[in-house]
A and B are shown apart, each in its own frame.
Chain A
Amino acid sequence: MARLFSPVANTIARASLVAAVAVPVGAIVMGSVVSRSPANTNVGVAFDQPVPFSHAHHSIELGIDCRYCHTSVTKSSSAGIPSTETCMSCHSQIWTDSPLLEPVRQSWAEGKPIRFASTGEVGWNRVAKVPEFVYFNHSIHIARGIQCNECHGNIQEQHMTAKGKPFFMKWCLDCHRKPEKALYVDEQQPDLTPQEKVFAFYRKIQEGAKLSARELALKKGREYQPTAAELEKGREMVQKMDIKVKTLADCYICHR
Chain B
Amino acid sequence: MPVEALPGTIRVLIIGGGKGGKALLELFACGQGVQVVGMADINPQAPGLALAQNLGIPTSHDALFLISQGGADLIVDVSGDQLVAPLIAKHKPASAEILGGTSALLVWKLAQHERDLRDQLIQAEKLASIGTLASGIAHEINNPLYGITGLSQRLEKETRPEIVKEYLHDIIEMSRRIATIVKDLNVYAHKNSAQALCDIDVNHIIEEAIKMARRACVLDEVKIQTEFSTLPRLQGNPDELLQVFVNLVTNAVQAMEGQGTLTVSTSSVNGSVRATVKDDGPGIPQHLLGKIFDPFFTTKEQGKGTGLGLHIVRDIVIRSGGRITVDSVPGKGAAFTLELPITSR
Q: Do A and B come from one complex?
A: no
